[in-house]
Amino acid sequence: MGFMESTTRASRVSAAFVRIADTLVDEYDVLDLLHTLVDECVGLLDATAAGLMLAGPDGVLQVLASTSEESRLIEVLQQETGAGPCVECYVTGVPITIRDIAGTGDRWPKFKDAAATQGFQSVHAFPLRVRGKTIGAMNLFRIETGELSEEDVAIGQALADVSTISILQERSIRESAIVNDQLQRALNSRILVEQAKGVISEISNVSTNEAFERLRTYARSHRTSLTDTAEAVLGRTLTL
C-alpha cells in the first residue's frame, strides 16, 4: 500500500469514527447510530451490504439496521434470525467468517439459499459485545468468496465496539438496567419505524422502501430522530 493510499485510508477511517461520534448528541436515537454504523462499514470496508441485529426480550434477533431497506436484503437477514452466521456469532460471542457460503452444506440451508439469490458469496459476522455480554451481531456481505483482510476485520470490529459502547454508555444508573432499557428502546423504535413505513406506504401509495427514505429524509432535514418522526406519522400528526 502506497503512502498516499494509506493516508487516505487512515483519514477515511477517522472520519467514520467522527461521523459515528457525531450521532451521539444528547437524546440521540440508537437507530440513527446503527444506520450510520452499517453505512460507514460498507463505505470503508470491502463489503457490498451490511445488516445489524440485536436480540429482543424474547431472545430472538431482530434486524435493526441495514445498508438497504430493500426487502431482498432484509429477507436474507431475516432468514438469519432462525439460524445462520449472525446467530452463531451472537450465541458464541466470537467473529464468524464464512468464506464460501455455497460451501456450507446443510448447516443453514435457508440462509444459504437466500444469500445465493442475492449473489452474496461470503459473509463476516462481528459480535456486538460489552463487558463480556453479547447483545447482537453485525454482518458484512461480499459478492466474492474469500475473507476480509485483517485490517478490514480490525476496523470493522472497532467501529462495532465503539457503537456498542455508545449504545450502552454508562450513566449514574445500575449497568444491567440501562443496558436492557437502551436495547429495548432500540427494538421498540425499529418496530415503530416499520409500522410508520406501512402508514406512509398506504397513504401516499409508495413502496415501503420509499417510505423509509421519506422518514429518514424528514428526520435529517428537521434534525429530529427516526423514532420521533415515526411516532408522529403513526399519531397522524405528520404526513410524508
Binding site for another protein (CB under 8 A): 56-58, 60-63, 71, 74, 78, 81-82, 173-174, 177-178, 180-181, 184, 188, 191-192, 194-203, 208, 231, 234
Q: What is the DSSP string of 171-211?
A: -SS-HHHHHHHHHHHHHHHHHHHHHHHHHHHHHHT--HHHH
Q: CB of 197: closest distance to another protein in angstroms?
A: 5
Q: CB of 154: closest distance to another protein in angstroms?
A: 30
Q: CB of 104: closest distance to another protein in angstroms?
A: 21
CB 112 within 8 A of CB 101: yes
Q: CB of 134: closest distance to another protein in angstroms?
A: 17
Question: Is the Cβ of residue 43 or residue 198 nearer to another protein in the bound state?
Answer: 198
3-state secondary structure 90-138: HHHCCCEEECCHHHHCCCCHHHHHHHHHHCCCEEEEEEEEECCEEEEEE
Distance in angstroms (rounded) separating the CA atoms of residues 48 and 174: 39
Question: Is the Cβ of residue 153 or residue 234 nearer to another protein in the bound state?
Answer: 234
Question: Is the Cβ of residue 57 or residue 146 nearer to another protein in the bound state?
Answer: 57
Q: CB of 20: closest distance to another protein in angstroms?
A: 24
Strands 133-142, 49-55: pairing kind: antiparallel
Question: Is the Cβ of residue 96 or residue 186 nearer to another protein in the bound state?
Answer: 186
Question: Is the Cβ of residue 205 or residue 223 nearer to another protein in the bound state?
Answer: 205
Distance in angstroms (rounded) separating the CA atoms of residues 220 and 114: 32
